[in-house]
Amino acid sequence: MDVAKLRSVPIFSSLDSKATAQLGEYLTIHDYPESARIFRSGDPGDAMYLIDVGKVEISITDADGANVTLAELEAGDFFGEMAMLDGQGRSANATAVENSRLAKLTRENFLAFIQSDPRVTLELLTALTNRLRRTDELLRHRVSRNVNQEEAARLTVADRAADRIAEFGGSWKFILTFVTLMMVWVAINSWVLITRAFDPYPYLLLSTALNMLAALQAPIIMMSQNRQAHKDRLRANLDYQVNLKNELLLSDILRRLDELKKKSRD
């Protein structure tokens, strides 16, 4: 990669021409055909990559076995920096979406470059923080979807019936139907069947039916509300786990970058 392309990468934009040229000496160029796997989750993290040409998909496999795309990176983007910083395994998969040319920067060369120009540390920290925010937002949507799926898988016939009854009982359709039925009932027993009314005034049969309806409707609605409250607690718990995980990851990144900064000063 030439100096202009290197300086177009956000984490290297603050470097001067001399430092950028020095960085270019550390890079090695690798070509990957379309659909080629650059690395898999769990592979050793010994290098980061800069995209010169092409597109790269970063993805993970969730607990359900589905492939979740975290990001689709293009020319000028970089990836693989987290595993390179801590030396641990890759946390995601990287796949070439199309024919791609990547510049590879090994962990050893990166640490050597950081010692000569620590400005990259701050830029790298900013980029990592932005990526954590995007991942957090993606995980929030995944969590919401998984909560609904998990709750739907546990639904029984009685639960579904309770939900439908509660939904109908809290709608304008129910109110209009109920008012219409009462008006028809009163009209029939007050004017149509004056001499043979089956429920004359004060409409004791209607009152009894209404009391029975209220007695049955109340616990059914409570059943639906209790299940919704359980879903809300589950969602809150998963949101807490997502936030805690990202907080721990960010703290770990800050700690490791502080260590890199101290090494560069030494």
Domain boundaries, the chain: 3-117, 147-253
Architecture of domain 3-117: Sandwich (2.60)
169 close to 221: Cβ distance less than 8 angstroms: yes
- pLDDT value of position 56: 93
116 close to 18: Cβ distance less than 8 angstroms: no
Whole-angstrom Cα distance, residue 47 to residue 105? 5
- pLDDT value of position 132: 62
12 close to 2: Cβ distance less than 8 angstroms: no
Whole-angstrom Cα distance, residue 261 to residue 254? 10
Q: Are strands 100-106 and 47-53 parallel, antiparallel or unpaired?
A: antiparallel
What single letter denotes the amino acid at residue 118?
P
Enumerate residue ranges in the chain where pLDDT < 50: none
Query: Would the CA dihedral through 14, 18, 19, 24 be positive or negative?
Result: positive
- pLDDT value of position 100: 93
pTM over 0.75: no
* DSSP conformation letters of 45-73: --EEEEEEES-EEEEEE-TTS-EEEEEEE
2 close to 70: Cβ distance less than 8 angstroms: no
**How many other C-beta atoms can be found within 10 angstroms of the C-beta atom of residue 34?**
12
Scored b (16 or more CB within 10 A) or e, 7-20 reads: bebebbeebeeebb
- pLDDT value of position 94: 92
- pLDDT value of position 161: 77
